[in-house]
Each structure stands twice: as C-alpha cells, then as structure tokens.
Amino acid sequence: MSLSSAFSRPLLIYDDKCSLCAKFAKTARILSKGWIRTGGHYYSQEAIEAKKLVFPADYDSTRMFWLIKKDGAYGARSGLLPVAKEVFKGIFKREDKNQENYIIACDYNGEMSCMSARSTIKRIVNMLQNRGRFSFQN
C-alpha cells in the first residue's frame, strides 16, 4: 500500500497530553464534518502507526502537530493552511457520524498547567517558530 492511498483522508496528529491541543484537533474534526481524522501522539494507535510509516526512526515527531494527507505531512506553521483547506474540503465532502474518544492527559504541576495563559502563549509561539514537511514520492 502506498502512503498516498493510506492517507486518502487527512490525519491530524496532536499532543494528546495537552487539553489545548486536543481542543484544536477536536475543533478541526468538527468543522470538517469528520473529514479530518484525529489521533494523539501518545495514546492513539492509528497515529503511532502513521508516524512509523511517515517519519524516519530518529526523528522526534512529537515536537509539533502534524497533518498527514495524500501528498505529504505538514507540521506546525506549515500545517495551518493545509488544515484550513481540509476543513473547507470536509464541509463539502462528507459527514462522519462516528465519534472519537479524545484522551487528554494534561499534566498539572505547581503554577503551570497546559491551560494557563502562559502555556497557551508558549505553545502558539512554538508553533509559529517551528515547521516541517515530508513529501511522499509516488
């Protein structure tokens, strides 16, 4: 099976240890009417298998969110426009009635949680500073 056929519907891989990231993924899935599949870096078997297919063994893919689709994988800043395109595509393509379980294992410690304003700003800045792209060769 080729990578492009394995990702005929896009897969959004997010940090499922962060409730803010889980809300982003859930929102993308809902707005696209289920067209965008979602899976967490740590707790989704589908996402773990997809990362093994797409990324080199020595690459840390957990540094950012990834949108994997037919032509490649787009991470963080490079993934924002493709996510928006797939949301619009999903509005016109289909509606998925299946509900997914969103496992959020947010680590709360001391003064900083994953939902604090400081953490939110840190994640947004990190996303805008990082980018990644892996193209598929057909």
Q: Give the residue among 6, 5, 23 at the shortest CA–CA distance from 14.
A: 23
- Overall domain count for the chain: 1
User: Mind listing the pLDDT tens digit for each residue in 73-111?
Assistant: 999 999 999 999 999 999 987 655 554 544 445 444 444
- Amino acid found at 117: A
Does residue 127 lie within any of the structural domains? yes
Q: Which has more pLDDT, 14 or 95?
A: 14
Token pair for 113: 């949680």
- Is 138 within a domain? no
Could you tell me what percent of the chain has a pLDDT over 70?
79
- CA 89 centroid distance within chain: 17
pLDDT band of 48, cuts 50, 70, 90: very high
Rg of the chain in Å (alpha carbons): 15
What is the model's pTM?
0.82
Check residue 79 and give its pLDDT: 94
Sheet holding 11-14, edge to edge: 37-40, 11-14, 66-69, 72-76, 131-135
Rounded distance, CA 81 to CA 25, Å?
A: 14
Evaluate whether residue 63 is within a structural domain. Answer: yes
Please write the tens of the pLDDT for every residue from 108-129: 444 435 667 888 888 888 888 8
Give the per-residue pLDDT at 113: 53
Q: Structural domain of residue 101, as residue ranges?
A: 3-133
